[in-house]
């Protein structure tokens, strides 16, 4: 029986990122030198900082509709000539941030505890790491920087190009990362047929999405089978598997049970929430659920 225990992984920021405040359905953040005000449906409480501090935001994202699940909208800029991109430094790599039409910035800072945890397990060893739904590549770059050989999979050509730009900015050997633009399920099934194995796997699937050929992804129906297939890709000496979920009406316990169904019986599972701690240290902002297995 695999042991499981609940953990809240808190990220209180670093030199190039800070959650300044949250409340009234918004969050105020600093990405490098830029302060942004974005929607945050879970921030149902009152802000801690005065309105004057929120007015310092240089960019404000406004949703196209009032629906919680709608990420479409536009940025209102309160500065002249906002930068197209600007660098953020985290765990030894450089990520190029930019204002996206779906309110994202190209980096999910709450994931940093996972990146540090992953680095400790790689520790200079040439582990084979598979990063699925890998987006702009923070985890891929940090793993490669730590000594791993990484396969980065995402269905978006734009996201992969952005990740490659981040690799160049980070001055990381191009041979250390293999870039795959494909539906994650198709890639994993092909790797199973080939008999390939990995020492570490990261899954950060969306709630809903489409693959390279229009394949529909729904977390509720597709996540468990993919997680099972990923477990079958783990090598005999595998080190870890990380599973993260955003914007879902689930409990982290559900993710832990899904992981326990498929993970190797050696080692253990921890699960819980990824949380951002603001600079006022008055309220923690829950961002996502996670479950991870380690040997």
Query: How confident is the model over 40-50, as pLDDT tens digits?
Result: 998 999 999 99
Strand 34-39 to 59-63 pairing: parallel
Q: How far apart are CA 89 and CA 69, in angstroms?
A: 30
pLDDT given at position 212: 80
Query: How confident is the model over 196-232, as pLDDT tens digits?
Result: 999 999 999 988 888 888 888 899 999 999 999 999 9
Q: How far apart are CA 21 and CA 267, in angstroms?
A: 38
Closest CA to 137 of 102, 99, 103, 176: 176
Asked if 35 and 61 touch (Cβ cutoff 8 Å), the reply is no
Domains (ranges, CATH) in the chain?
3-11+108-294 (3.40.50.150), 17-87 (2.60.40.1180)
Asked if 293 and 241 touch (Cβ cutoff 8 Å), the reply is yes
Would you write out the chain's pLDDT as a tens digit for each of its 295 residues?
344 567 999 999 999 999 999 999 999 999 999 999 999 998 999 999 999 999 999 999 998 665 545 567 899 999 999 999 999 999 999 999 999 988 899 999 999 999 999 999 999 999 999 999 999 999 999 999 999 999 999 999 999 999 999 999 999 998 999 999 999 999 999 999 999 999 999 999 988 888 888 888 899 999 999 999 999 999 999 999 999 998 777 789 899 999 999 999 899 999 999 999 999 888 899 999 999 999 9
Asked if 279 and 295 touch (Cβ cutoff 8 Å), the reply is no
Closest CA to 286 of 235, 238, 239, 252: 252
Q: How far apart are CA 16 and CA 148, in angstroms?
A: 25
Q: What share of the chain is helix, strand, coil (3-state, %, to 5)?
A: 25, 35, 40
Q: How far apart are CA 245 and CA 265, in angstroms?
A: 23
**Can you give the pTM of this predicted structure?**
0.93
């Amino acid at each position: 029986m695999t042991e499981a225990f609940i953990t809240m992984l808190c990220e209180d920021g670093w030199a190039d990122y800070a959650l300044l405040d949250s409340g009234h359905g918004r969050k105020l953040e600093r990405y490098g030198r830029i302060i942004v005000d974005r929607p945050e449906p879970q921030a149902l409480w009152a802000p801690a900082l005065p309105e004057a501090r929120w007015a310092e935001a240089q960019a404000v994202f406004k949703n196209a509709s009032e629906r919680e699940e709608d990420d479409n909208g536009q940025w209102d800029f309160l500065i002249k000539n906002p930068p197209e991109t600007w660098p953020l430094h985290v765990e030894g790599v450089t990520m190029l941030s930019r204002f996206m039409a779906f309110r994202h910035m190209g980096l999910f800072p709450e994931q940093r505890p996972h990146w540090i945890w992953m680095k400790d397990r790689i520790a200079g060893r040439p582990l084979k790491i598979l990063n699925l739904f890998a987006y702009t590549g923070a985890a891929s770059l940090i793993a490669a920087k730590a000594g791993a050989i990484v396969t980065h999979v995402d269905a978006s050509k734009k996201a992969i190009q952005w990740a490659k730009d981040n690799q160049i900015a980070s001055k990381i050997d191009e041979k250390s990362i293999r870039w795959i633009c494909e539906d994650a399920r198709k890639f994993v099934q092909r790797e199973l047929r080939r008999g390939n194995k990995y020492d570490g796997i990261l899954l950060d699937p969306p709630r809903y999405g489409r693959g390279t050929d229009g394949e529909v992804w729904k977390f509720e129906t597709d996540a468990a089978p993919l997680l099972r297939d990923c477990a079958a890709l783990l090598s005999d000496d595998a080190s870890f598997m990380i599973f993260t979920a955003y914007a879902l009406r689930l409990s982290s316990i559900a993710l832990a049970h899904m992981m326990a169904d498929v993970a190797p019986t050696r080692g253990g599972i921890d699960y819980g929430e990824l949380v951002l701690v603001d600079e006022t240290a008055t309220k923690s902002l829950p961002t996502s659920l996670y479950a991870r297995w380690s040997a």
